[in-house]
Chain A
Amino acid sequence: MNRLETISILLAAWLAVAFEVSFNGFRNWFGAQVSLLPALMVYVALTSSLPSVVLLAIVGGLAQDSFSANPLGVTTVALALTGFLIHYKRDIVLRDQIYAQVMMGFLGSSLVPACVVLALTNSHHPVPLTARLVGQWVVMAAGGAVATPLIFRLFAQLTRWFSYQPFPESHYRGTGQLKRTRF
């Protein structure tokens, strides 16, 4: 995990939470807020190392819970579980394919709220399991599925801007040299 990667993950987590607490559009249009943290976790789990997964789970989860009535730490645990699961099986995921990114985004974005609601069900303030909650869960999963490929594109662009890019190989080949001959 290099320094640039750490900073970019922390910044992305901060921006994701800032978006969730300040942008009200999805709530007005679809009746549920879309969370970007699970989609970000899918990206980190598929492309980065385990310390990055832990860092995102802790920072993102704590930031999100601080604005919420959730018990502090519950989102951290849910994000970490999702991140570990995807990171553990990442060798069998075709992460460069958009279809795989969408499906993993859907999986991650449905797993995180499910884990949080499951944890809350066993707490002092259980969440009532209603049809509306199921609808919100579907919106969150669908939103995460759409957001995941966008996050992959965004980070690919950032990597191109800020990382060392090796020069492409020359087309000049030894066997293709012009040979001086007599007329």
Chain B
Amino acid sequence: MLRKPQYIALGIVALLGLILLSLSESTTQRAKITLTGLFLPLFGFTESTQSAARHAGNSIVPREDLVRELKQLRAQKQELEFTLTQLQEGARENDGLRKQAGFPARLPWKLKPARVIARDPANWWRTVFLDVGSKDGVRVDMPVITPEGLVGRVSVVGASRSQVVLLGDQNCRVAAKVDETKENGIVVPYAADPSIVSLTYLSRGSPVKPGQSIVTSGLELKPGNQVLTSGLGGVFPAGIRIGEIVDVRSASFGLYQEARVKLTVNLNALDRVWVVAQ
């Protein structure tokens, strides 16, 4: 039988659990962000350790390697400058045409660099913490990207930290399209593999060869097709790369189709990301 102190301890924990679990979503999120502040020394220590390691690594790189890399970067810079000039010309032309057609002007992205400082300890969620918050201009639902593609969206914002829900989490669904066919669908998690997501609710087509490719609205979805954000959900701007199709299958007794999509970003190796302030 339990003794009196044990009953009291059980009662305390049960009461605390009930109070915490019945708190509102906004209160819980504020409390969570405040509690993560207890780990600020850890984040500082990690940053300083990494910076010291980088510094030590830099000091032992041979001069020949640095000179060779500098030459390569200079050549790459010149190439990129030519591309930029062409793109700027194209953008000017696009702006002029949009103005003539009466379309609103396309606003450039404002990118905010950020560092991943912590990961969700629970295995069934996919979230990370960034070292930027509301004082850096970060807001809820802002997209987070890397040069390789889409990472996720900001879900909770504190003063100097924010939580990002990653692609493949249940709470991150993205309106997407297949670049080659312009077919629209929704990106949802794929439970068996964290590096893959499902592009679902693609319109129904008729199979050409079972297990290979499927005709959809007159266009074929093939493995290797690029999947981009469609911009339809209102959260993610159009044209951000998500991944490429691995295979396509019919779902819900042929009502619609699903494609497995291999993500372009390795979400397990995230370090530096960019928050898109549209």
Contact = CB atoms under 8 A, between A and B. Distances in A.
A18 B31 CA distance: 18
Contacts of B193: 132
Contacts of B12: 54
Contacts of A12: none
Given A66-B31, A68-B122, A133-B124, A128 B191 contact: yes
A53 B9 contact: yes
Contacts of A133: 123-124, 191
Given A62-B35, A127-B124, A21 B118 contact: yes
Given A27-B268, A76-B13, A77-B13, A64 B170 contact: no
Contacts of A77: 13-14, 17, 21
B120 to A, nearest CB: 5
B119 A24 contact: yes
B20 A69 contact: no
B127 A69 contact: yes
B32 interface: yes
Contact residue range for chain B?
35 or more
Interface string A120-133: 10000101101111
B16 A132 contact: no
Contact of B192 (A32, A130, A140): A130
A176 to B, nearest CB: 47
B9 A67 contact: no
Interface in A43-100: 50-51, 53-54, 57-58, 62-74, 76-77, 80, 84, 88
A65 B124 contact: no
B2 interface: yes
Contacts of B234: none
Contacts of B2: 88
B20 A72 contact: yes
Interface stretch (B36-44, B57-65, B176-184): B36-44
Interface in B179-209: 189, 191-194
Contacts of A62: 20, 35
Contacts of B13: 54, 57-58, 76-77, 80
A33 interface: yes
Interface string B249-278: 000000000000000000011000000000
A42 interface: no
A145 interface: no
Nearest to B42: A18
A73 B17 contact: yes
Q: Would you list the 4 A-B pairs with minimal beta carbon distance, nearest first?
A: A73-B20, A66-B35, A20-B121, A21-B118
18 contacts: A14-B38, A22-B46, A22-B118, A62-B20, A66-B31, A66-B36, A67-B120, A67-B121, A69-B125, A69-B171, A70-B125, A72-B21, A72-B31, A73-B21, A80-B17, A88-B2, A128-B170, A130-B192
